[in-house]
Amino acid sequence: MGRLHGKVILVTGAAAGLGREYAVRLAADGARLALADIEDCAETAARCADQGGEALTLDVDVSHEDQTKEMARRTHERFGRIDGLLNNAGLMRGLAVKSLLDVDMDVWDRVFAVNARGTFLCIRAVTPYMRQQNSGTIVNVGSGSTLRIARAVDSLNPHYTSSKAAVAAITRGVARELGAHNINVVTIAPGATTSDRDPALTAEDALPEPEAALGRRGVPGDVTGVVAFLFSDDARFISGQMIVINGGREVY
Ligand X SMILES: NC(=O)c1ccc[n+]([C@@H]2O[C@H](COP(=O)([O-])OP(=O)(O)OC[C@H]3O[C@@H](n4cnc5c(N)ncnc54)[C@H](O)[C@@H]3O)[C@@H](O)[C@H]2O)c1
Q: Known catalytic residue: 160?
A: yes
The distance from CA 156 to its chain's CA centroid, rounded to whole angstroms, is 22
The DSSP code sequence of 62-92 is TT-HHHHHHHHHHHHHHHS---EEEE-----
Nearer to ligand X (CB atom), residue 1 or residue 94: 94
Span from 25-33, 49-57, 88-96, 173-181 in contact with ligand X (CB under 6 A) = 88-96
Residues in the chain: 252
Binding flag, residue 143, ligand X (CB under 6 A): yes
User: In sequence order, what are the residues at sequence separation of 6 or more whose Cβ sits closer than 8 angstroms to the Cβ of residue 67?
Assistant: 60, 61
Q: Which of 44, 51, 57, 63 binds ligand X (CB under 6 A)?
A: 63
Residue of 117, 246, 140 whose CA lies nearest to 187: 140
The identity of residue 34, as a single letter, is A
Nearer to ligand X (CB atom), residue 40 or residue 177: 40
Residue of 245, 231, 251 whose CA lies nearest to 10: 231
Binding flag, residue 201, ligand X (CB under 6 A): no
Span from 170-178, 179-187, 192-200, 230-238 in contact with ligand X (CB under 6 A) = 192-200
Binding flag, residue 193, ligand X (CB under 6 A): yes
Binding flag, residue 93, ligand X (CB under 6 A): yes
Give residues in contact with ligand X (CB under 6 A). 12-13, 15-19, 37-39, 60-63, 88-93, 114, 118, 141, 143-144, 190, 192-193, 195, 197
